Structure 1
Amino acid sequence: MAHKPAIASMSLGRAWVHDLHEKLKQASEAGFTGIEIFYEDLEYLAKKYGDTDRTNLLQAASEIRQACDNLSLTIIGLQPFLFYEGLTDRNEHKVKIEKLKTWFQIVKIFGTDLIQIPSNFQTDNTSGDISLIVNDMIEVAELGLQENPPIRFAYENLAWGTHVDTWEKMWEIVTRVNKPNFGCCLDTFNIAGKVWADPTSQDGKSPNADRDLEYSMLQLVQTVDVKKVFYIQVVDAERLEEPLIEGHPFYVDEQPARMSWSRNCRLFLYEYDKGAYLPVVEIARMLTKELGFEGWVSMELFSRSMSDPDPSVPRTHAQRGIKAWRRLVKELEL
């Protein structure tokens, strides 16, 4: 399987600001062949049918699928299934499982088999007990295996995750779950943003950043089974002029700095003129060349620019994303 370019729907503009159909159109016209659908986009579309109940969500899903088919866009997955693992309130856990059953119906309409689960970043009502986390993931995996066709899950470590914030911790869980439909998504931002970068530091880097990243990537290549990598996300981020601490415009009390940074400051690859500075190309090289990943590569991005009401935002983001993808393909000879 060759590498195929995808883009996340939210990276073309916030759901409440820009029309989803316009975002899909611009992704297709730019040259993307696949797209990740954010649940938030689906919910906003469902509101035009009334409440966001199961019936209206499924109707909205059918509308999205038809639009993507018309534009020759493959839906690679639905994300993010938020705040799932390690919940201490087991009644809330049961609610999540019931919601997941609706997600199963949605992805079948989409024509995909993939749901992405990011690591939990709640600070309340969540446990770091790895046995509990593993058991929660086994539960969803087994439910997914009962579906026809089976549903796969891509677990992703967020750099600001409360208990799972590195690929190493994520991989331990994937290994212990040990189910054929339970794998991972590797994200260059979440890798570099944890081990190499630190938005609260003056230079935007962690102590011993280069050495630590080199060691981390060598360990990843030697440890991770590429068959368990269901897709990758490749994106950069902005180096801030001042540390993201109290008083910074992006600072949010009781919100991890890396989360605030992620929500406001991601950039596409090679956008050095906008402040991009993470070693993303090298990480992408390790994932595609050394680890040997082939498959979907998503240019997922979050940025304050997505909230700009200018109707050109979906187009400019799509064009920026495909430009980055084509340059990466050329540089790495993908």
Structure 2
Amino acid sequence: MKSISRQSLQKIPLAYASCSIGCGPNDTLARRLEAISKAGFTSIELSFPDIVEFGSQVLGFSVQPDNYSVLQGVARDIRRLCDENALTVMMLQPFSNFEGWPQGSAEREEAFARAKGWIEIMKVVGTDLLQVGATDTPEEKIFTSRDTIVSDLRELGGMLAKHNFRLAYENWCWSTHAPGWKEVWEIVRDVDLPNVGLCLDTFQSCGSEWGDPTTSSGLIETESHDQLQSNWHASLEHLAATVPGDKIYLLQISDAYKVSPPLEDKVIDGLRPRGRWSHDFRPMPYDGGYLPIEDFARAVLQTGFRGWFSVEIFDGGPEGKGRTYELNEFAKKAMVNTKKLLDNCATDGQ
């Protein structure tokens, strides 16, 4: 395996997802961006729901998520806020449930209309990167054949290429067709466009291949613990040896709480258990989680990747019911802990 020098990690750029900080109504977007900047982060993942919410607050009426003419004006205001805080917008997220809809369906038309609208927002905020999450639409409603998924993403990649934009495809551990890094990599490989790559995530991959919120151990229990560990390390070795570093556009950083009592193994409010786990039980590294996130981050770095590390956490506390904290201290702790993660990934011992 490739060595990871501590020196090579010192220039990795650090970003923070705008949606993953703040715990109350007074934690406005302006205050969140200020805290992110003061902590030393240089860029954000801009959450589309944050644009909609910010627009509704400043305009005094409920802005609809498909009112792109209004949202472009809102996005200009957000870009000014970013400029004031010396932040760039690294990526717009989370574009979801795009691929697999039947030809001619209203859902497919909506998905492509949404893509056109989001592209206009990307122009305004100054980012060239769109995150696309592997769909969690139920299998009976979409086509999950590899050819269909690849064709849809290739078409979206072509739309983005016209503007010199890129697509970062992410596995969601509760996705209908691509819960693991290997599935999204094989799709990106088959799409075979220079502007289509990967958004990898410590939680999503550890949570699909190693952890399970529905078991008392917090681990996948369909096989022995020794076999689970063997499979996990084999997967990481395969990632490091297979995925070109330049096809990874960013690595999102978070951990997970072991849920006690375990989550019910059923769909609730449209979300599978791992989806609920993702939404409410994701702390920053070294803050109460238990997933082998260092293992995964190290494997990603062994591909040669030295791009964005981006903090994306949804910390509702160990019970997933929410927690309170002070914005500036929380952001500073996220910076310290992310740097600790990088330091612990080095293999040269220096």
TM-score normalised to structure 2 length = 0.86
Displacement of 1:316 after TM fit? Answer: 4.2
Q: Secondary structure at the match of 1:25?
A: helix
Residue pair 1:262, 1:303 contacting (<8 A) in 2 also: no
Alignment partners' CA distance in 2, 1:235 and 1:227: 22
Q: 1:141-152 counterparts in 2 under 5 A? A: 141-147=157-163, 150-152=164-166
1:161-187: CA deviation from partner (whole Å, max 9, x where unpaired): 011111111111101110111111011
Partner of residue 326, structure 1: 339
One-letter amino acid of the structure 1 residue matched with residue 283 of structure 2: L
Q: Secondary structure at the match of 1:168?
A: helix
Residue pair 1:14, 1:307 contacting (<8 A) in 2 also: no
Partner of residue 241, structure 2: 222
Q: Secondary structure at the match of 1:171?
A: helix
1:26-67: CA deviation from partner (whole Å, max 9, x where unpaired): 101111111101100011112233433112211111111111
1:207-265: CA deviation from partner (whole Å, max 9, x where unpaired): 33311110111111121121111111121110123221269xxx836631111111111
Partner of residue 161, structure 1: 175
Displacement of 1:143 after TM fit? Answer: 0.9
Residue pair 2:265, 2:273 contacting (<8 A) in 1 also: no
Find out whether 1:268 has 2:277 as its counterpart: no
Bigger shift: residues 258-267 or 44-53: 44-53
Displacement of 1:158 after TM fit? Answer: 0.5
Q: Secondary structure at the match of 1:43?
A: helix
Q: Secondary structure at the match of 1:236?
A: coil
Q: Secondary structure at the match of 1:190?
A: helix
Displacement of 1:324 after TM fit? Answer: 1.0
Find out whether 1:294 has 2:300 as its counterpart: no
Residue pair 2:315, 2:323 contacting (<8 A) in 1 also: no
1:69-110: CA deviation from partner (whole Å, max 9, x where unpaired): 111112100001111001136332122212211211211222
Displacement of 1:14 after TM fit? Answer: 6.5
Displacement of 1:266 after TM fit? Answer: 0.5
Distance verdict in 2 for CA 1:242–1:4, change over 3 Å: same
Alignment partners' CA distance in 1, 2:24 and 2:46: 11
One-letter amino acid of the structure 2 residue matched with residue 225 of structure 1: P
Q: How many residues align?
A: 324
Equivalent residue for 2:111, pick from 74, 96, 99:
96
TM-score normalised to structure 1 length = 0.90
Gaps of 5+ in 1: none
Alignment partners' CA distance in 1, 2:210 and 2:259: 15
Alignment partners' CA distance in 2, 1:167 and 1:61: 31
Alignment partners' CA distance in 2, 1:253 and 1:31: 37
Alignment partners' CA distance in 1, 2:28 and 2:257: 26
Bigger shift: residues 18-27 or 120-129: 120-129
Distance verdict in 2 for CA 1:135–1:239, change over 3 Å: same
* Greater than 6 Å deviation, 4+ residue runs: 14-17
Partner of residue 39, structure 1: 48
Alignment partners' CA distance in 1, 2:282 and 2:149: 29
Find out whether 1:238 has 2:251 as its counterpart: no
Alignment partners' CA distance in 2, 1:316 and 1:256: 33
1:150-207: CA deviation from partner (whole Å, max 9, x where unpaired): 1100000100001111111111110111011111101111110011111111211113
Residue pair 1:221, 1:291 contacting (<8 A) in 2 also: yes
Alignment partners' CA distance in 2, 1:15 and 1:62: 24
Q: Secondary structure at the match of 2:277?
A: helix
Distance verdict in 2 for CA 1:246–1:175, change over 3 Å: closer
Bigger shift: residues 323-332 or 60-69: 323-332
Residue pair 1:15, 1:40 contacting (<8 A) in 2 also: no
Alignment partners' CA distance in 2, 1:253 and 1:75: 31
Q: 1:1-334 counterparts in 2 under 5 A? A: 2-13=11-22, 18-47=27-56, 48-49=58-59, 50=61, 51-52=63-64, 53-88=67-102, 90-123=105-138, 125-147=141-163, 150-206=164-220, 207=223, 208-245=227-264, 252=268, 255-271=271-287, 274=288, 276-288=289-301, 290-304=302-316, 312-333=325-346
Alignment partners' CA distance in 1, 2:171 and 2:23: 23
One-letter amino acid of the structure 2 residue matched with residue 91 of structure 1: A
Alignment partners' CA distance in 2, 1:253 and 1:67: 34
Distance verdict in 2 for CA 1:122–1:326, change over 3 Å: same
Alignment partners' CA distance in 2, 1:262 and 1:127: 25
